[in-house]
Amino acid sequence: MRVGFIGLGSQGAPMARRIIDAGYPMTLWARRPASLEPFADTSADVAASPAELAAASDLVCVCVVNDADVQEVVTGERGVLAGLREGGVIAVHSTVHPDTCRSLAEQAAAHGVSLIDAPVSGGGPAAAEGRLLVMAGGDAETVERCRPVFATYADPVVHLGDLGSGQLTKVLNNLLFTAHLATAASVLSLGRDLDVDPGRLAEVLSHGSGASFALGRVAAAGGTLERMASHAGPLLQKDVRLVADLAEAAKATPGTVLETADAALALMGHRR
């Protein structure tokens, strides 16, 4: 399978590197030439546009930041759909609204192209080690066709159901992570007020029943959420807002998790 990769950021770059190292023919495209420099020592080809990349690919992986970016690289004048042959597949690794994937899938189908949503969780280090989590939604046969490529950078790769289910699962995961951040930061702050060293408290908790991924992130950031505000804050704000909107539209009851997530956003200086 020939693979194209768009979105060579802190997470996408190690994903692309894993695919290349696994021996797949790879074509890359990036808006910024600097994003391509780390791949100068690889066998990857560089395309002049998403359309040119798609013309050389059977599977195009998209790992850009937001809905607008995904739509632009897929449906723009020189976008992926302008070059991808019939039978090709687009995998959206970005975290976007499920309806964005559904709309793009309809447009792709008109070109004889399949689209699946496959958001990821774990970050750059996990990608580099081949242990990202891929949450896939869409046609089961298409997901299985892509699974060997996903397996180069992810374990596990979970097929969740219809198109959009991967995105729904990803934002629910991020909602819970955001709530965990608030809880972890609050516990470390309480420990500080009770004269328990936050660093040592975090070390103990990480080996006990109160351990969580969020606790590790807060501890690494000095025991507060201040250092996470500029980068993680806006991304988590986007996802929490999306879950809240989806829950309201479905008339679902999210319980207290949204309130706790809002508390985390507030500690980072953001509001849903």
233 part of a folded domain: yes
CATH of the domain at 108: 3.40.50.720
Report residue 22: phi and psi, to 5°: -80, -5
Q: Count of domains in the chain?
A: 2
Closest CA to 232 of 206, 270, 199: 270
Q: Are residues 59 and 146 in the same domain?
A: yes
Residues 150 and 179 grouped into a single domain: no
Domain identity same for 140 and 205: no
- Find tokens 């192209």 and name the residue: 113
Q: Is residue 272 part of a domain?
A: no
Q: Which domain holds residue 243?
A: 168-267
Amino acid identity of 209? S
pLDDT (0 to 100) of residue 231: 86
Strand partners, 52: none
Residue 248 belongs to some domain of the structure? yes
Q: What pLDDT is recorded for position 37?
A: 97
51: nearest Cα among 19, 67, 27, 33: 27
Asked about 251 being catalytic, the answer comes back as no
Which pTM does this prediction carry?
A: 0.94
Same domain, 173 and 158: no
Q: Specify whether 84 is located in the same domain as 137.
A: yes
Question: Residue 39 corresponds to which amino acid?
Answer: F
| 19 Cβ contact list (under 8 Å, min separation 6) | 3, 5, 26, 61, 149, 152, 153
Provide the sign of the torsion angle of the four alpha carbons 167, 123, 150, 41, taken in this order. positive
228 CA to centre of own chain: 17
> Which H/E stretch holds residue 6?
strand 3-6
Q: Alpha-carbon distance 262 to 240, whole Å?
A: 8
| 148 and 237 assigned to the same domain | no
Q: Are residues 157 and 237 in the same domain?
A: no
End of a domain among 162, 181, 207? Answer: 162
How far is Cα 116 from Cα 135, in angstroms, rounded to an integer?
10
Tell whether 132 is covered by a domain.
yes
Over the chain (272 residues), the average pLDDT of each successive run of 10 is 97 98 98 96 97 98 96 97 98 97 98 98 96 98 98 98 98 97 97 96 96 95 92 92 95 94 95 91
The radius of gyration of the chain from alpha carbons, rounded to an integer in Å, stands at: 20
Q: Which residue out of 93, 159, 170, 180 is catalytically annotated? A: 170
How does DSSP assign 64-124, residue by residue? -SSHHHHHHHHHSTTSGGGTPPTT-EEEE-S---HHHHHHHHHHHHTTT-EEEE--EES-H
